[in-house]
Structure 1
């Protein structure tokens, strides 16, 4: 996730880190070169390379903009839902910390906390494709078993144990929702239609500007291509909130936040450091 202060007015035009320009510059260059070719062809071979009526381009551009905004909204909803579920997992771990603060420091309480710490890091690895789902399930099962042992030993009443089981259930429901997001992308046909339409529109756009804008047609076409291809690339990043891309969620930071909270509750002083941003990117 990009973490940085708002840049200055001039800085907005020179920032590359976190900008989709690094991904889409080949498409922009292609549209610009096509625009130059259209101008040259229109000047030297006007009977073969003719300009087009710009009116339809305005209508198509409006429709494409609406289409892009709907897709970006859907992808941002996925990103925000993923962030919300990780917030629930972090909150539930802190709830368990508070719900057990009256207990004596015993092996079962430590086992509960360490199981939740393992769960946080395993969940990060699972959602980024490094380990299977059953390892996170096993960590939650260990936490449930520790709660059961404390109840049988008389450290927890039935009601207290039930409250802890409900907190574990919230964590399990949240990781399941994250699995659903990770394993269910936006339908391919939907994305394919948008890709095709954006490419076709930007490639033929210089033909609509060549008569009215002349030598400026390639620059205007490149600017439109930057907007359309940029929105498309950004939606693609937000569609995968658990990836390693700069705009994805910082899962490692979330897992470390869980670990720090629980280890501090155990009285440990040698705590891990929160991951730092590297070139304004928090992983």
Structure 2
């Protein structure tokens, strides 16, 4: 996610130079053709087309942003639930004999959020997952089709083990299981966002109509703007293409691009909070890179 408050000209140019160049070349071609072979094009259809397209793109961008914000809200719930499960493990199991089990529950939660991060980004579980699990635990969880859910299931078994050993009672077990339910519900919401794209009509028609509009725009403006058509038409066209690109960038909040949620940073926040809750040394938080991007 780009978090820098100031504009980065290099980053902006990298994203817009291709459509900007294509638009400008097309606008120049239309302008030269008009002066060589004059033609007449009514302005009203282009105006109506642009107004309708702006509404269409606005609905699409709002839908994409709602998905992005819902993903951020679900990760906020995940952060809170992770803190809750660590606090419950610490406070419900003060017995010194439960220290190792309590520690394993906390480390497994850190492994769990990192495994979920990898699943949502469609990458293999990385070192952040494996270093928090013992060899046997890692082998069993990595064999599951849903690695994150496998880790969460085993956390539930660890909580049941604590109940069977008398370290917690059934009420405390139920309270901890309720937190695991919250975690599973948040994961389910994230998987729904990841696996359910916008309807095909929301993806196909705005793209087609926007490109058609950019093709027709200089034809409708050349009689009015004359030699300034390449400048005016290119600026107007790039605005519509930018709104189209905003929807594409936000529609999948877990796609592992510069516009998506900073899952690495949020997983590190969970890791810091949970390790400090059991008295372990925690790593520093992840900060934006030199381009102002927080991963």
TM-score w.r.t. length of structure 2? 0.87
Take 2:202 and 2:54, find their aligned partners in 1: how far apart are those partners? Answer: 15
What is the root-mean-square deviation of aligned Cα atoms in Å? 1.5
Instruction: Say which is worse superposed, 186-195 or 131-140, in terms of deviation.
Output: 131-140
Give the Å deviation of 1:97: 2.2
Residue pair 1:113, 1:143 contacting (<8 A) in 2 also: no
Partner residue of 1:82 out of 71, 83, 99:
71
What is the distance in 1 between the residues matched to 2:146 and 2:225? 60
Residue equivalent to 1:118? 111
How far does residue 71 in structure 1 lie from its aligned partner after superposition?
Answer: 0.4
Aligned twin of 1:92: 81
Task: Give every structure 1 segment of 4 or more consecutive aligned residues whose post-TM-superposition deviation is greater than 3 Å.
Answer: none
Following superposition, the deviation at residue 203 of structure 1 comes to 0.8
| Corresponding residue for residue 72 of structure 1 | 61
Following superposition, the deviation at residue 236 of structure 1 comes to: 0.5
Q: Distance in 2 between matches of 1:120 and 1:154?
A: 28
Residue 39 in structure 1 maps to residue 31 in structure 2 = yes
Q: 2:2 aligns to what? A: 2
Which residue of 22, 38, 46 maps to 2:14?
A: 22
- Using the alignment, how far apart are the partners of 1:181 and 1:16 within structure 2? 31
Give the Å deviation of 1:184. 1.1
| Residue number in structure 2 paired with 1:277 | 288
**Contact 2:86–2:105, Cα closer than 8 Å, also in 1:** no
Summarize deviations over 1:186-240 as a string: whole Å, max 9, x none: 1233211111111111111111111111111111111111111111111111011
User: What stretches of structure 2 of length at least 5 have no aligned partner?
Assistant: 125-143
Alignment of 1:85-164 (within 5 A): 85-102=74-91, 103-104=93-94, 106-131=99-124, 134-164=146-176
Instruction: Give the TM-score normalised by the residue count of structure 1.
Output: 0.91
Structure-2 separation of matches of 1:195 and 1:22: 21
Total equivalences in the alignment: 271
Q: 2: CA distance between counterparts of 1:273 and 1:51?
A: 65
Alpha-carbon distance, 1:76 to partner: 0.4
Q: Deviations over 1:96-121 (max 9, x none)?
A: 22223322251211121111011011
> How far is 1:133 from its partner?
5.2
Partner of 1:181: 193
Gaps of 5+ in 1: none
**For 1:233-248, what aligned pairs fall within 5 Å after superposition?**
233-248=245-260
> Could you tell which deviates more after superposition, 77-86 or 179-188?
179-188
Pairwise CA distance, 1:244: 1.8
Shift of 1:247: 1.1
Cα distance between partner residues in 1 of 2:192 and 2:14: 30
Match of 1:219 in 2: 231
